[in-house]
Structure 1
Amino acid sequence: MNKKMKLLLATSLVSLTLFSPVLAENMLRVSYTEDPKTADAQMTSDDYTLPLNIFDRLIEAETTKPGESALVPGLAEKWEISDDGLTYTFHLRQGVKFHNGAELTADDVVYTFDRMLNPATKALGTDILTFVAGSQDRLDGKADSVSGLKAVDKYTVQIQLSQPYAAFLALLASPQASIYNRAFTEAAGDKFGLTPETTNGTGPFILRDYTLNDSQTLEANDNYFRGRPKLDRLLIRVVSDSETLRMLFESDEIDVFDLDYAPTQTPYFYGSDQWKSLIRSGPRVGLYYYNINQNKKPFDDPRVRRAFQMSIDRQAILDKNFYGRGKLEDGVMPRGLTCYAAAAPIEYNPAKAKELLAEAGYPNGVEINLQQVSSWSSKWSDMNQIIQAQVAEAGFKANVVTTDEAAYLAARKAGDSDAYTQVWSADFNDPDNFFYTFFSESGSKVRAYNNNDPEVFTAVDKARGMTDPAARCKLYQDLTARIVGQDAAWVPLFSLDHSFVVQKRVKNFVVPWNGWSDMSYYKVEVE
């Protein structure tokens, strides 16, 4: 670090120190199962509590009601999209201050996204900027800047795409798109986000203490542009053991108990007279599914795939493994996702499935393999064993094949893995997050579906650039009918409810729409 950068960082740290408010006891106490390691949203792919509370984004995805969200203005108070869908112009709020007192400018936005694409950063999540013109050249080290990023003036940012992409705004609301201050972040270098002294955002809370593998303490930002949070402090404790977490909660040392971190405690809390009225639950925008690899016989025949769909009692799995806290899903889009519409129900009918197998040339049944990864949690092996027993009634002789994760991932990437069960939660609220991931030409192979349907490939690509929302949603709904019904390309299982138990003093707690446990606590209050 040169002398100029050292001086700049020192000045910024002084500003942060002077900004420190008086501590108070109006504090919310939450937990995490492991240390997030960094507050830098560009350097994590799954720990978003710190970024969602310390930083802001141009646009925010705000939970509007259980399992649903809307895109609302964030650091950008308004924006325009050109008729051809290629140019996005964002008008920043004026007077927004970073925690160190610096004012937000268009240059900070350009810097933030350029930093993500700079190969020296080694950032994760760069795919949110894939469609920005010049992004690949920057990632490949062929350019010193991103041609599609431009600060038009102090408060106006223009982003040029290489091709229309309807989900772009939704991506800009994801945690990875958190906005940083150029001067401070450059001064902090590779230490950015690792300590309170090297962390600086515009968000509702300021990082004040970071004790590795123990806790993080955040304090209210008195100068937050939306208004000061009702909370004075937010304490995030690292608690890996579910029994310890429950003990801390019941002894009033934790205010929010996330049942995702201790699912075996679900029956206890739902059956407790003390706690059941304090459960806050909402649908998780994600779904469990069973992959079918069409390159593996007998799944090259759609009748066999349909028989496999019909031979699984999905409700029994939901009830046994997840205490019935969820809803069966019949399509590619889970409830709560933009464009969601109920799909045609998948019938559970082992007798009819057996008839389909006979029609496909397997009157005496057929042998299949179910993939299992040795290092994954027991819930996956439990599901495989249940499905192994269920599909036998229809004539499927299922072998559970166990491999290590490296072998599984390599086989899947090559399109050669056996059928497997998994879960996918929305990273951003747009159908593209599901359809392109699983059923684009590239996604279908690298996730070992091999659903080689040219009409599906064409439609998935077309939908990405459509600017008419109603027509785009209709196309996705038609695609669902083709993929799940006609092609029988996978088995959607169910989406789960996301449940939290809160102390009586916690008010205005809203279950986040997304597939994570991470959320902004800006609107939460305690009495």
Structure 2
Amino acid sequence: MRKTLLLGLVLLLALTAVPAMAARSGGTIYFVAPYGGDVFSLDPHNSHRTQDSIISLNIHKCLYEWSPEKNMPVLALAESVKISPDGKVYTFKLRPNIKFHNGRQLTVDDVIWSYNRIMSLKPASNGSRFVRPILGAKEVEDGKAKTIKGLKKIDDLTLEVTLTEPVDLKYYLFWVNTCILPKEEVEKRGKSFMTNPVGCGPFKFVKWVKGSKLVVKKFDDFYLEGRPYLDKVVYNIMPESASRDLAFKAKKLDATIVGAVNYPQYLADPVYGKNLLEVAEMFTRHIGFNQSFKPFQNKKVRQAINYAIPADLIVKKLLKGKAYPARGYLPISSPAFDPKGKKYEFDLKKAKQLMKEAGYEKGFTVEQCVGTANKSWGTGIYEAAMPYLKKIGITLKIQQMEGAAMAERLRRGEYQMYIWSVGSGPDPLESLHRFHSNNAQAGGNFIAYNNPEFDKLLDKAAHTFDQKARIDLLKKADAVFVEDAPMWFFNYNKAVLASQPWVHNLSKVAVEMMYQDMTNVWVDDKSPRANEK
């Protein structure tokens, strides 16, 4: 009898606990758009800004979408895909129940039209680099053809895509810049589509108050039944971290991005400290060495710098722990990250020995150390490193400049050292290919890296379709890169998102923490906006 009563009590407790954790439908979430004083465009084909993408990814959809759980793109608008043995032909089957916000069904014609539009826009769309691997896309971009040859309609829901070379297409066609738009709405609205878009995502555009907020509401005919859970999302445009912090603590924001200055306070808070999402974003902060500058032609000098600067200490003291010390170029969240790979630990004695072996025991002066004012990876890091480099005889002369001006200097190779943050994901092959010898400085290989062994590993990985074998090759390539030390490996950004206790299902998004897909997010009854529509 006693066992029966105990069992009944356990079942009762279990049943009463379920509603508290089950997703509830309704309510509003107040989120932030923190990367500027306004939004530029909600036409994702016509936007180059992360700020815009934060919102657009909830209005629009692509063939693939990012899965935080799997840490990779998965199918979205397509329900299945078949890939040919040579990796050059993808056959997609679209979901049959996708509707645009104007009520029309999405078909293969919309996919073909969208990709052709991306490649024909002038100035070039930011999505063009992701569509370019498709056969004939470059010809449309160059004005030599009107349509992309490699796109073939089999029927209304079946699309065949032929590539110029075998690439893992999921890493290309999940970016919001490649989303599928309704031709008739784009053509009818013209430039106003940028401010009044129509998509097929979980939320419909409602209004945009310039410089203040942008509002989207639930799309009842979204292809995933019962979702989104929220009635509305309000994006508050708040570029100032102090303002975001005050609004969040006053419970006027449901979630906010956390900067390095406030990070220790949030960690220590008994409530907010339990509601922090942290992820190693796919950005690698580093100092790049221009090997046309004679001292940097010697690998031992480059390695000496890596040993001489205490990266872990700088992350802890200067960045308040809001970063992950780098082991190599590929970040912790990359599928090809090797936790057992070589890491340059602080070793001043070894650094001095390497400088002596390289013939630079007396050191040298670096005249052109370019950087921006960014506190996490700008000239302040140079200043933190200077006393340590001085101990091995290296003197830095810092030149701080605006980001666009510095980028132009890097593309032209007009520097001796630079410090910056560069995207290092999500596709590890594409990330490392930045430094392939066939990629010019203007194309992103700012250090003009040239290593035949590294190139060979990348080329082999590109033609290896077994995923495990490809990852193993990429780990080896990253190891070669680390050993060669063409840069000082500093850190991977630790993105931190704080949320109120009533918010559920925000995700650790390694490609960019603020790219929060709100489809599965919900708020419980404790939210002051639980019943707001």
Same fold by TM (over 0.5)? yes
Aligned to 1:431: 428
Q: Relative to 1, partners in 2 of residues 1:39 and 1:295: Cα closer, same or farther, differing over 3 Å?
A: same
Aligned to 1:241: 240
Q: What are the residue-to-residue correspondences of 1:371-382 with 2, within 5 Å?
A: 371-373=369-371, 380-382=378-380
Q: Tell me, yes or no, if the aligned pair for 1:350 and 1:391 is still in contact at 8 Å.
A: no
Aligned to 1:10: none
Offset of residue 477 of structure 1: 1.0
Q: Tell me, yes or no, if the aligned pair for 2:437 and 2:450 is still in contact at 8 Å.
A: no
Q: Tell me, yes or no, if the aligned pair for 2:29 and 2:232 is still in contact at 8 Å.
A: yes
In 2, Cα distance between the equivalents of 1:410 and 1:28? 40
SS in 1 for 2:206: strand
Q: Tell me, yes or no, if the aligned pair for 1:417 and 1:448 is still in contact at 8 Å.
A: no
Q: Relative to 1, partners in 2 of residues 1:248 and 1:410: Cα closer, same or farther, differing over 3 Å?
A: closer
In 2, Cα distance between the equivalents of 1:185 and 1:89? 26
Q: Tell me, yes or no, if the aligned pair for 1:374 and 1:405 is still in contact at 8 Å.
A: yes
Offset of residue 121 of structure 1: 6.6
In 2, Cα distance between the equivalents of 1:519 and 1:162? 32
1:249 is matched by which residue type in structure 2? F
Aligned to 1:55: 60
Aligned to 1:498: 495
Offset of residue 73 of structure 1: 2.0
Aligned to 2:94: 92
Aligned to 2:47: 44
In 1, Cα distance between the equivalents of 2:212 and 2:73? 34
* 1:442 counterpart (436, 439, 443): 439
SS in 2 for 1:285: strand
Q: Tell me, yes or no, if the aligned pair for 1:370 and 1:384 is still in contact at 8 Å.
A: no
Q: Tell me, yes or no, if the aligned pair for 1:303 and 1:357 is still in contact at 8 Å.
A: yes
* 1:476 counterpart (455, 466, 474): 474
1:269 is matched by which residue type in structure 2? Y
In 2, Cα distance between the equivalents of 1:465 and 1:304? 35
In 1, Cα distance between the equivalents of 2:326 and 2:388? 18
Aligned to 1:14: none
Offset of residue 291 of structure 1: 0.8
1:78-114 Cα distance to aligned partner (Å, 9 max, x none): 0111112111110001121111100010000001100
Q: What are the residue-to-residue correspondences of 1:24-43 with 2, within 5 Å?
A: 26-33=27-34, 34=36, 35-43=38-46
Q: Tell me, yes or no, if the aligned pair for 1:150 and 1:159 is still in contact at 8 Å.
A: yes
Q: Tell me, yes or no, if the aligned pair for 1:388 and 1:399 is still in contact at 8 Å.
A: no
Offset of residue 406 of structure 1: 5.5
| Paired residues, number | 493
Q: What are the residue-to-residue correspondences of 1:53-132 with 2, within 5 Å?
A: 53-64=58-69, 69-120=71-122, 122-132=124-134
Identity of aligned residues (%): 23
SS in 2 for 1:157: strand
Pairing 1:230–2:229 present: yes
In 1, Cα distance between the equivalents of 2:256 and 2:376? 22
Q: Tell me, yes or no, if the aligned pair for 2:140 and 2:146 is still in contact at 8 Å.
A: yes
In 1, Cα distance between the equivalents of 2:72 and 2:400? 42
SS in 2 for 1:299: helix
In 1, Cα distance between the equivalents of 2:377 and 2:510? 24
Q: Tell me, yes or no, if the aligned pair for 1:119 and 1:138 is still in contact at 8 Å.
A: no
Offset of residue 191 of structure 1: 2.4
Pairing 1:182–2:183 present: yes
Q: Relative to 1, partners in 2 of residues 1:454 and 1:416: Cα closer, same or farther, differing over 3 Å?
A: farther
Q: Tell me, yes or no, if the aligned pair for 2:507 and 2:516 is still in contact at 8 Å.
A: no
Aligned to 1:3: none
In 2, Cα distance between the equivalents of 1:208 and 1:303? 59
Q: Relative to 1, partners in 2 of residues 1:77 and 1:405: Cα closer, same or farther, differing over 3 Å?
A: closer
Offset of residue 50 of structure 1: 1.8
* 2:141 counterpart (117, 139, 142): 139
Aligned to 1:286: 283
* 2:295 counterpart (278, 294, 298): 298
Task: Give structure 2 stretches of 5+ with no counterpart.
Answer: 1-24, 525-533
In 1, Cα distance between the equivalents of 2:450 and 2:202? 47
Pairing 1:418–2:420 present: no
Offset of residue 459 of structure 1: 3.0
Q: Relative to 1, partners in 2 of residues 1:101 and 1:429: Cα closer, same or farther, differing over 3 Å?
A: same
SS in 1 for 2:498: strand
SS in 2 for 1:513: coil
In 1, Cα distance between the equivalents of 2:158 and 2:460? 30
Pairing 1:526–2:529 present: no
Q: Tell me, yes or no, if the aligned pair for 2:412 and 2:441 is still in contact at 8 Å.
A: no
In 2, Cα distance between the equivalents of 1:159 and 1:492? 38
SS in 2 for 1:322: coil
Offset of residue 403 of structure 1: 4.7
Q: Relative to 1, partners in 2 of residues 1:121 and 1:188: Cα closer, same or farther, differing over 3 Å?
A: farther
Offset of residue 380 of structure 1: 1.0
In 1, Cα distance between the equivalents of 2:376 and 2:165? 43
Q: Relative to 1, partners in 2 of residues 1:142 and 1:424: Cα closer, same or farther, differing over 3 Å?
A: same
In 2, Cα distance between the equivalents of 1:370 and 1:378? 20
1:351-373 Cα distance to aligned partner (Å, 9 max, x none): 11111111111222222245234
Q: Relative to 1, partners in 2 of residues 1:201 and 1:374: Cα closer, same or farther, differing over 3 Å?
A: closer
Offset of residue 407 of structure 1: 5.0
In 2, Cα distance between the equivalents of 1:377 and 1:289? 13
Q: Which shows bigger deviation, 372-381 or 181-190? A: 372-381
Pairing 1:254–2:253 present: yes
In 1, Cα distance between the equivalents of 2:400 and 2:31? 37
Q: Tell me, yes or no, if the aligned pair for 2:497 and 2:513 is still in contact at 8 Å.
A: no
Q: Relative to 1, partners in 2 of residues 1:380 and 1:452: Cα closer, same or farther, differing over 3 Å?
A: same
1:380 is matched by which residue type in structure 2? G
Task: Give structure 1 stretches of 5+ with no counterpart.
Answer: 1-23
